Amino acid sequence: MEYLANGPFRDTLVVDNWIGGSARPPGASRFERRSPQNRDDLVTLAPESQEEEVREACEKARAAQQAWARVPAPQRAQVLGRLAQLLIEKKEQLARFAAREMGKPLREARGSVQEAIDTAEFFQSEGRRLYGQTVPSELPDKELFTYRRPIGVVGVITAGNFPVAVPSWKVVPALLCGNSVVWKPSDDAPGTAALVAELWRRAGLPPGVLSVVHGGGGNAAGEYLLRQVDAGLVDKISFTGSTEVGRKVGEICGRNLSIPSLELGGKNPLVILADADLQLAVEGALWASFGTAGQRCTSAGNIIVDRRVMPTVREQLVQRARSLRIGDPLDESVDYGPMINQRFLEKWLEQVSVARDDGAEILLDGRRITPDEKPASFSGDAALGLYVTPRIIDRVKPSMRVFREECFGPTVNLVEIDGLDQAIQVANATPYGLSSAIYTRDARAMLRFKEEISAGMTSVNNSTTGAETHLPFGGNGWSGNGTRESGIWVIDAYTRWQAVNVDLSGKLQKAQIDLTDAELGPAPDFSSLT
């Protein structure tokens, strides 16, 4: 890793792959990551990995895995403790770099590093648990046990919107459980990934236990890593990204009888009932919709509002959205920064015509910010950044495409309903089921919503975003395949159960067969039932 002078900007970080414990200069070219707030700022140059390099990383991971699995779990966990310490020490630098590289406001970038610290600390202590069970046997002088065993080599593929937190949700528990990992970070945040990898290196891992290979997804490093599942070098994939790519990952893993962890899209509902604290609800809706410029998988997609309070919610939401401060993410006062990449920007721009074709009403149109057309409070570079103003779409119905299709970016729909029954029905009407929220003061409405919403995560009187790291994270329907990340639940994703029988009787005891009537006890008498 070295820095190159970058004209008037901060230096460009030039990174290598990290394969088998050493930095590997690229076999082919490096790709550029430019700052989304200033396309002239070349933040990172990272290798466009070739298939042989990805394969070699997987071979090294395979070679290193068993010895790593034999290190006692509490000792493996010490590495996580050191990682947490290093993340604490470097929190500010890492957050600043991430904000420059992928464009989320500094406050949120700090939060994302904190989420990785929380994860590393949680799993450091989990290394002293990783419990199995002692189970009674039906036979004398026999003991039964369960153990968690690692799966093997895990391929991790992550997105650019949470470049520190989300990879930690995968890499930290996978390594704790005794697996080795090959990580393909997002090409929107390769420099942030390389800085995190450097902290892992300093935290101390045997060579090959964690490798990092950079590059694109389709027909590039991501796809090469998936091919190693078919080649028998990778035993599991953990993926965060689009539903479309998630389906392909699922197909490849499925034919290899491997269960991937899939964290995919969302079109998350936020319900506001007539009795809600409206100030709180509008505040929550605003943050859920426009925080991180709407580029979280947990961002709100549909604000579902009771007709009795819709006029107030509509007016307040539009007014508050208009006064959001957009601009340079390193400016502490901004509410949101740029779009992470050109692809997200283009899809977001196209959404207006989808909404118009659907017959919805565009309340706030949401446009690209240009030097000629920018809000008064805008603080970025309008010519060189991928900035946009917020969009609010009104009179949206569940039958519309705009209601169902996920769209990363600062955009949200208003959907009018009448009462709780309809609210729940509409909230369940997208194919997704990641996060959800309800604002109400009625305890019975809270209870019913929690029970009847189909979503992996549900908030009462809080945003759809902002999951804490020690609760299960994941979704239903198109949001994933039922696996969960975070907290103790993720351990099931990175281990397999082994059942162990220990017979100390000195003779062959046959389960289900070698039991005398006396040992089984008297047969139950069902005669009274007839």
Chain positions contacting ligand UN1, by CB under 6 A: 115, 161-162, 166, 240, 296-298, 465-467
State the catalytic residue, choosing from 177, 253, 297, 407: 297
Residue 242, number of CB atoms within 10 A of its CB: 17
Cα 42 from Cα 32, distance rounded (Å):
7
How far apart are the C-alpha atoms of 1 and 14, rounded to whole Å?
6
* Active-site residue flag, 332: no
Active-site entry in 53, 101, 263, 416: 263
CA atoms of 61 and 209, how far apart (whole Å): 5
Shortest Å, Cβ 158 to ligand UN1: 9
Residue 241 contacts residue 94 (beta carbons within 8 Å): no
CB atoms within 10 A of CB 454: 16
Is residue 268 within 8 Å of residue 275, measured between CB atoms?
A: no
* CA gap 171, 475 in Å, rounded: 20
Smallest gap from residue 292 Cβ to ligand UN1 (A): 8
Instruction: Report, in Å, the least distance between residue 71 CB and ligand UN1.
Output: 30
Query: Least CB distance from residue 299 to ligand UN1, whole Å?
Result: 8
CB 168 within 8 A of CB 116: yes
Choice between 56 and 108, CB closer to ligand UN1? 108
The residues near 178 (Cβ < 8 Å, ≥ 6 apart) are 65, 68, 69, 71, 73, 76, 149, 150, 495
CB closer to ligand UN1, 208 vs 480: 480
User: Residue 341 class from Cβ within 10 Å (0-12 exposed, 13-18 middle, 19+ buried)?
Assistant: buried
- Is residue 136 within 8 A of residue 123, CB to CB? The reply is no
**Which C-beta is closer to ligand UN1: that of 161 or that of 458?**
161
Q: Would you say 60 or 267 has its CB closer to ligand UN1?
A: 267
Give the shortest CB-168-to-ligand UN1 separation in angstroms: 11
Cα separation, 411 vs 196, in Å, equals 31
Query: Residues for the chain: how many in total?
Result: 530
Q: Which is nearer to ligand UN1, 186 or 228 (CB)?
A: 186
State the DSSP code for 523: P
Structure-token pair, residue 415: 């959907």
DSSP result, 91-104? HHHHHHHHHHHH--
Q: Is 263 a catalytic site residue?
A: yes
Nearest residue (CB) to ligand UN1, 65 versus 168: 168
Smallest separation (angstroms) from ligand UN1 to the CB of 122: 14
Residues forming the active site: 263, 297
